[in-house]
Amino acid sequence: MNTDTPPAPTGTADADDRALLQLIWLASPALPVGGFSYSEGLESAVEAALVVDETSAGDWLLDQLHLALARSDLAVLAQALHAWRAGDTARALALDAWVLRTRESSELRQQTEQMGRSLLEWRKSLHPGTAPAARHLSYPVAYALAACDGGASGRQVLLAFAFGWAENMVQAAIKSVPLGQGAGQRILGRLATDIPAAVDHALALDDAGRQSFTPMLAILSARHEHQYSRLFRS
């Protein structure tokens, strides 16, 4: 039996490992924030026969990634992360107000409020002695606060956020279209290929470049509020 003591890890490796594991944790579908219960209008798109199979589901989610997530939540996340790390609470809260102000339906606003609130409760349970930065935060601003505890770069945080979003949305597609698990994995592969470009786009946006303007998605989300049969909360 080899009784040699393994070499002690270096401090840098430990820090890198902790940062990576925290991002995996934040991106996990098991994070208790309720993301699995939302389809972000996808269920309504299925009802309207705009999404009917694997190809159309993948196309829909790729459009949502580039036209909605990259221009809004990912851009806010990048700026809010910088604000929290700089101790600029006023800037973070201004970004939070922008998110709430630009949600285009009541369901989409309720989603970001509920998920943000749940993420703050999760963080509070891990750090009970930490004074809350705010009582309520939208999801991307709350995510930035949770992510600023680790040492990951802004780009890495955005990649984790986007992949977590992609996993939830693929599961929504599997349940609502419906699709098989193999189709879901192929769609996730398409999204994973495009996520880095979406993140780079978000990182390049300033306040003037940020936007939340997806009329078709807003209409479908509003229709979903009165949809007869629903699996999801949005």
User: What does the pLDDT look like over 35-80, one tens digit per residue?
Assistant: 999 999 999 999 999 999 999 999 999 999 999 999 999 999 999 9
Token digits for 35? 């993301």
Q: How many domains does the chain have?
A: 1
| Domain contains 35 | no
Which positions ≥6 away from 155 have C-beta within 8 Å?
Answer: 199, 200, 203
At residue 134, the pLDDT reads 72
At residue 197, the pLDDT reads 98
Tell me which residue range forms the domain holding 216: 41-224
| Cis? peptide before 178, omega within 30° of 0 | yes
Is residue 135 pLDDT above 90, yes or no? no
Q: At 34, is the pLDDT very low, low, confident or very high (cuts 50, 70, 90)?
A: very high
The alpha carbon of 64 is separated from its chain's Cα centroid by a whole number of angstroms, namely: 12
Question: Percent of the chain beyond pLDDT 90?
Answer: 77
Least confident of 30-39, 72-81, 155-164, 221-230: 221-230
* Predicted structure pTM score: 0.92
165-219 confidence digits (pLDDT tens): 999 999 999 999 999 999 999 999 999 999 999 999 999 999 999 999 999 999 9
Q: At 13, is the pLDDT very low, low, confident or very high (cuts 50, 70, 90)?
A: low
Which CATH number does the domain housing residue 133 bear?
1.10.4190.10
Which positions ≥6 away from 5 have C-beta within 8 Å?
Answer: none
Is residue 130 pLDDT above 80, yes or no? no
| Domain contains 3 | no
| Domain contains 116 | yes
| Domain contains 9 | no
At residue 177, the pLDDT reads 97
Compute the half-sphere exposure of residue 173: CA atoms within 13 Å on the CB side of its CA. Answer: 29
| Domain contains 2 | no
| Domain contains 4 | no
Closest CA to 133 of 79, 195, 181, 89: 89
| Domain contains 232 | no
At residue 30, the pLDDT reads 86
